[in-house]
Chains A and B, each alone.
Chain A
Amino acid sequence: MSFPILSSILLAPVLGVLIILFIPQKEDKVIKIVAALATGLTVILSLIAYAYYDQSIGGLQFVEHIPWIDELGVAYGLGVDGISLPLVLLTAIVIFTGVFASWGLEKRVKEFFIFLLALVAGVFGVFLTTDLFFFYLFFEIAVIPMYILIGVWGSTNKEYSAMKLTIYLLVGSAFALIVIIAVYLYTGLGTFDIQTLTQQTYDIGFQKFAFLLLMVGFGFLVPMWPLHTWSPDGHVAAPTAVSMLHAGVLMKLGGYGLIRAGIFIFPEGAKFWAPVIAILCIVNVVYGAMVAMAQKDLKFVIGYSSVSHMGYVLLGVASLNTLSISGAVAQMFAHGIMTALFFALVGNVYNKAHTRMIADFGGLAHQMPRIAAGFVIAGLASLGLPGLVNFVAEFAIFVGSFRVYPVLTILAISGIVITAVYVLRVVQNVFFGPRNPKWDGLEDVRGIELVPIVILCGVLLFLGFFPSLLMELINNGVDPFVQQYLTTPKVGGMF
């Protein structure tokens, strides 16, 4: 058997937790270095996995399979394909930069990194596993550390937000759990293996029932309007690294689950419910963007912009064709990087200025040119400027969805205009304009604080110029499924 690269990705953060457990609380530098090494290892391993993934073969690769609970037929199965590999890479990049974004942390450092690494182990698990039981298990592992991370190290109404987020996420996953058990019993094969379950046929009634539950369950995570209210609260309350991980990666679990467990296992159910998702996601896009426009707190702007952008992912999912689903996966990746960059920047500003109110700032580019530059790049990515990876993703989604839902797609594209309005408004009010002497004491980011900004901007630009590196891989993962299970996409839609 070859080197278990995926298990290593999963276990690297766990190893980090174990090492940190034995480091005394006061040696916080050592703790941070261990965390950086552990997460750095995941980046390297995911890049190796990316490099060695053979696109000419496609499908699940680096597969590991160990029977786990005989009685239930659960197996510890890992594997990646063109859909999950980019998301694994995303997780690794976001957490690695997240560790650097928390470099200045001084309060209860040891526990912070223990919970952060535990959280990320869960997230990796969700993307890596090929077994529905473990899918659920890893997801729940990620939730509780998040509760503590937000509640202890957060800001702005943190206890309320932490509890709200936890309950919402758990309720969402409960819907998924019911489907997991139901599909397990329905097939009677005694397995939770996603590939095996995908190959089965289910009667139409069951598919509708199962997909509805998954739609609601994963809708909580994505988040889909009107189930989204936990997300801006959670983003705002969370400490920087957790916001990055949360908006950058955790919301993607919903989209990923909807594609992997929803569409591919229950294609007929998906066809039945897709118009509902399509309509709700337009509310996401337009309403999210409008609410973002009205916010006074920088983090709330980004929180609602995430709601808006995840609407595009849902639109791609709902259109059910290769192009749109590939676009959705790419958008998850692109949005993850972009929003992590946003949160890293806002975290830096907040650490230095101790406020996030847009009205307090003005002309910050004079004092903080590097942050301003980073913010402009993220902002342009957010409004889908060509040359940044988000453009590619959104373009693919729109082209794919226009065939199915022309009217809705046009509405969604209008969301970009609103996005441009609020992004540019923020950039203008915070960074440009006359120099504000109140902030003259602020230092720009430097040294280690620059690491996340440089890496994340780099990824946005690099993949913006070479989108094929990402898109081909994703296409390779999505296309076989779509060809096999969604061969005749339901054209026409509701309008």
Chain B
Amino acid sequence: MAINFSLIIPEMLVAGLGLLVMIISLLVPKDQKKGLAYFTVFGLIGVLVVLYFMIDAQGTLFNGMYIVDPFGSFMKILIVLSSIMAIILGVEYVEKFITGFLGEFCFFVVFATLGMITLVSAGDFITLYVALELMTISFIILVGFGKNIFRASEAAIKYLLLSALSSGVLLYGLTLVYGAAKTTSINGVMEYIAQGETAPILVLGIIFLISGFGFKISAVPFHMWTPDVYEGAPTPVTALLSVASKGAAFGVLLRVFMHALPGNQELWMPIIVVLTVLTIVLGNFVAIPQKNIKRMLAFSGVAQAGYILLGLIAFSTVGVSAALFYAMIYVFCNMGAFGVIIAFSQAGGGDEVQDYNGLWKRSPFLAAVMLASLLSLAGIPPLAGFVGKFQLFRAIMEQGYVWLVFVALGMSMVSVYYYLLVAKAMYFKDPHEDSQIKVNLPIQITLLAITLITLFLGIYPTPLTNLATQVAKTFF
């Protein structure tokens, strides 16, 4: 069977870009790597364009080990977009705090991107695991490579140990499923389950799978690493970790559970429902007392993961499309918030919420972007987060989970409280110092674009909802 290599052009481009950046980075002097970062950005934008044009492409490669479909392409767009934003937002930060390692930052982000985009296309457990490890190892390096930041090393060790553990659990789950289904391909597992047999070993395997993926999307109770790693890692890495790695993990989670395991959903659905409720409730409540803004966003990210899981619970086109929509706008909201944190810490500000006192006076622009991003996360119209939550709630209510809507909506109101605490610091309090904050042009443009997109999709979400619905039909 001839292999249609045109389907994996994006992956090849990303891999090539990563190697190219690595080589160029060796050739240029240490203090001249800013250009390289923007080169990487443009390379990734090229990939984005290619992905956009092949969103309808469909096919499998290497005997089903690799699946290219609209769902995968959508997730890839999400991932590449986050990487682009993370690099643009991170250039100055890395220059300033981790001087001399900008080249490494760029190509490890590209390699992590490669891992993530492969992950969402994995059609086989082997591909899945290899891609997952490529992503995780790149991230471990990225988390810890701020070697003069004390917290970063701690975070990296923590992330390393816990990732190793979770990878082990996941791998164990995969072997157990393999043991029952006698195949590693996702299609094969689907066919096996469609026969209606439920071996106890398979059940155990699925539970392990849930734990393994739960770690990556930081679902409660597998979320313990999130706050420490988010707090310790260099902020651009945190930003990428919080959106892209979560997005990729969601991609593979949805693919495995919607594609391979729909035959016995009554088996694992209760576990997912319990996890989701725990994630939403705990994430939101624990975020309230957080004093550090990165930790607060970590817990808010935990809660948001719970909201995206609602899409899986709905188990319908509407649900998946809502989850995809939400995942996409979550990228913009979170990147907006982290972008402000990056710009603020570049100007010498700390990461505590009280450091943001009086931000409106020092930089009305940053304060406005932060406010819009946080309100969007809270689901307040006219920002995109509202439409996302609305669709998720509608999707699960359609399946009869009215009580779950009550819980999720109630917790969403709780989240308003801690997001508004940041707004309170920014708008109500007087600043500790009066100096104006200078934001450089690339960051300014990126943040402006993020905010406008968040606003636009909140007012007129049709383009993205239509795309998400079309993509969600992959599974049904």
Q: Which residues of A contact B (CB under 8 A)?
A: 68-72, 111, 133, 136-138, 140-141, 143-144, 147-148, 151-152, 159, 163, 166-167, 170-171, 174, 177-178, 181-182, 184-185
Interface contact B375-A171, CB-CB below 8 Å: no
Interface contact A140-B380, CB-CB below 8 Å: yes
Interface contact B393-A151, CB-CB below 8 Å: no
Interface contact B321-A71, CB-CB below 8 Å: yes
Which stretch (B52-60, B279-287, B411-419) binds chain A? B411-419
Interface residue? B410 (CB, 8 A) = yes
What's the nearest-Cβ distance from chain A to residue B125, in Å? Answer: 34
What's the nearest-Cβ distance from chain B to residue A294, in Å? Answer: 31
- The 6 A-B residue pairs whose C-beta atoms are closest, nearest first, are A137-B381, A71-B465, A174-B409, A151-B428, A140-B381, A181-B394
Q: A70-B466, A71-B465, A178-B405 are in contact. Are A167 and B413 (CB under 8 A)?
A: yes
9 sample A-B contacts, Cβ–Cβ < 8 Å, listed by A number = A69-B465, A71-B465, A72-B391, A133-B390, A151-B428, A166-B420, A170-B416, A181-B405, A182-B402
**Cα separation A71 to B462 with both chains bound (whole Å):** 7
Interface contact A170-B424, CB-CB below 8 Å: no
Q: Which residue of B lies closest to A147 (CB)?
A: B420
Interface contact B402-A72, CB-CB below 8 Å: no
Interface contact B382-A185, CB-CB below 8 Å: no
Residues of A within 8 A of B402 (CB): 178, 182
**Cα separation A140 to B390 with both chains bound (whole Å):** 13
Residues of B within 8 A of A159 (CB): 424, 428
Interface contact A69-B417, CB-CB below 8 Å: no
**Cα separation A103 to B416 with both chains bound (whole Å):** 32
Q: A137-B382, A181-B397, A182-B397 are in contact. Are A152 and B427 (CB under 8 A)?
A: yes
Interface contact B380-A151, CB-CB below 8 Å: no
Interface contact A68-B460, CB-CB below 8 Å: yes
What's the nearest-Cβ distance from chain A to residue B406, in Å? Answer: 7
Residues of B within 8 A of A147 (CB): 420, 423
Residues of A within 8 A of B31 (CB): none
What's the nearest-Cβ distance from chain B to residue A170, in Å? Answer: 5
Interface contact A167-B405, CB-CB below 8 Å: no
Interface size on B, residues (CB 8 A): 34
- CB contacts under 8 Å to A, within B427-476, are 427-428, 460-462, 465-466, 469
**Cα separation A111 to B359 with both chains bound (whole Å):** 14
Interface residue? B197 (CB, 8 A) = no
Residues of A within 8 A of B465 (CB): 69-72
Interface contact A70-B462, CB-CB below 8 Å: yes
Partner of B382, one of A70, A141, A184: A141
Q: Which residue of A lies closest to B458 (CB)?
A: A137
Q: A71-B469, A185-B394 are in contact. Are A178 and B409 (CB under 8 A)?
A: yes
Interface contact A68-B393, CB-CB below 8 Å: no
Interface residue? B191 (CB, 8 A) = no
**Cα separation A138 to B465 with both chains bound (whole Å):** 20
What's the nearest-Cβ distance from chain B to residue A175, in Å? Answer: 9
**Cα separation A424 to B423 with both chains bound (whole Å):** 42
Interface contact B387-A171, CB-CB below 8 Å: no
Interface contact B460-A177, CB-CB below 8 Å: no
Interface contact A143-B380, CB-CB below 8 Å: yes
Q: Which residue of A lies closest to B382 (CB)?
A: A141
What's the nearest-Cβ distance from chain B to residue A218, in Å? Answer: 16
**Cα separation A140 to B391 with both chains bound (whole Å):** 16
**Cα separation A138 to B380 with both chains bound (whole Å):** 10
**Cα separation A68 to B360 with both chains bound (whole Å):** 34
Interface contact B420-A171, CB-CB below 8 Å: no
Residues of A within 8 A of B417 (CB): 163, 167
What's the nearest-Cβ distance from chain B to residue A480, in Å? Answer: 31
Interface contact B394-A184, CB-CB below 8 Å: yes
Residues of B within 8 A of A111 (CB): 360
Residues of B within 8 A of A181 (CB): 390, 393-394, 397, 405
**Cα separation A72 to B394 with both chains bound (whole Å):** 9
Which of B360, B460, B462 gathers most chain A CB within 10 Å?
B462
Interface residue? B386 (CB, 8 A) = yes
Q: Which residue of B lies closest to A163 (CB)?
A: B420
**Cα separation A184 to B462 with both chains bound (whole Å):** 18
Interface residue? B352 (CB, 8 A) = no
Q: Which residue of B lies closest to A144 (CB)?
A: B380
Partner of A144, one of B321, B375, B394, B462: B375
Interface contact B393-A177, CB-CB below 8 Å: yes
Q: Which residue of B lies closest to A182 (CB)?
A: B397
What's the nearest-Cβ distance from chain A to residue B57, in Å? Answer: 23
**Cα separation A111 to B360 with both chains bound (whole Å):** 10
What's the nearest-Cβ distance from chain B to residue A43, in Å? Answer: 24
**Cα separation A382 to B104 with both chains bound (whole Å):** 72
Residues of B within 8 A of A177 (CB): 390, 393, 409
**Cα separation A163 to B424 with both chains bound (whole Å):** 9
Which of A137, A167, A178, A181 gathers most chain B CB within 10 Å?
A181
**Cα separation A182 to B420 with both chains bound (whole Å):** 29
Residues of B within 8 A of A167 (CB): 413, 416-417
5 additional A-B pairs beyond A137-B386, A177-B393, beta carbons within 8 Å, are A70-B462, A144-B375, A148-B423, A151-B427, A163-B424
What's the nearest-Cβ distance from chain B to residue A231, in Å? Answer: 18
**Cα separation A177 to B402 with both chains bound (whole Å):** 12
Residues of B within 8 A of A163 (CB): 417, 420, 424
**Cα separation A377 to B398 with both chains bound (whole Å):** 53
**Cα separation A141 to B372 with both chains bound (whole Å):** 12
Residues of B within 8 A of A68 (CB): 460, 462
Residues of A within 8 A of B427 (CB): 148, 151-152
**Cα separation A177 to B386 with both chains bound (whole Å):** 11
What's the nearest-Cβ distance from chain B to residue A413, in Å? Answer: 38
Residues of B within 8 A of A136 (CB): 381
Q: A72-B465, A144-B375, A166-B416 are in contact. Are A174 and B410 (CB under 8 A)?
A: yes
What's the nearest-Cβ distance from chain A to residue B433, in Å? Answer: 19
Q: Which residue of B lies closest to A213 (CB)?
A: B406
**Cα separation A174 to B424 with both chains bound (whole Å):** 22
**Cα separation A106 to B409 with both chains bound (whole Å):** 39
Residues of A within 8 A of B382 (CB): 137, 141
What's the nearest-Cβ distance from chain B to residue A9, in Å? Answer: 17
Q: A147-B423, A171-B413 are in contact. Are A178 and B406 (CB under 8 A)?
A: yes
Q: Which residue of A lies closest to B470 (CB)?
A: A71
Interface contact A141-B381, CB-CB below 8 Å: yes
Residues of A within 8 A of B380 (CB): 140, 143-144
**Cα separation A111 to B416 with both chains bound (whole Å):** 21
**Cα separation A178 to B410 with both chains bound (whole Å):** 11
**Cα separation A174 to B414 with both chains bound (whole Å):** 12
Residues of B within 8 A of A69 (CB): 387, 461-462, 465
- CB contacts under 8 Å to A, within B357-415, are 360, 375, 380-382, 386-387, 390-391, 393-394, 397-398, 402, 405-406, 409-410, 412-413
Residues of A within 8 A of B393 (CB): 177-178, 181
Residues of A within 8 A of B406 (CB): 178
What's the nearest-Cβ distance from chain B to residue A242, in Å? Answer: 15
Interface contact B413-A170, CB-CB below 8 Å: yes
Residues of B within 8 A of A140 (CB): 380-381, 386
**Cα separation A144 to B417 with both chains bound (whole Å):** 11
What's the nearest-Cβ distance from chain A to residue B414, in Å? Answer: 9
Residues of B within 8 A of A174 (CB): 409-410, 412-413
Q: Which residue of B lies closest to A137 (CB)?
A: B381
What's the nearest-Cβ distance from chain A to residue B361, in Å? Answer: 9
**Cα separation A141 to B465 with both chains bound (whole Å):** 21
What's the nearest-Cβ distance from chain B to residue A70, in Å? Answer: 6
**Cα separation A133 to B389 with both chains bound (whole Å):** 13
What's the nearest-Cβ distance from chain A to residue B156, in Å? Answer: 38
**Cα separation A167 to B380 with both chains bound (whole Å):** 12
Residues of A within 8 A of B394 (CB): 72, 181, 184-185
**Cα separation A62 to B396 with both chains bound (whole Å):** 36
Q: Which residue of B lies closest to A154 (CB)?
A: B428
Residues of A within 8 A of B410 (CB): 171, 174
What's the nearest-Cβ distance from chain B to residue A114, in Å? Answer: 10
Partner of B424, one of A72, A141, A151, A178: A151
**Cα separation A133 to B386 with both chains bound (whole Å):** 11
Residues of B within 8 A of A70 (CB): 462, 465-466
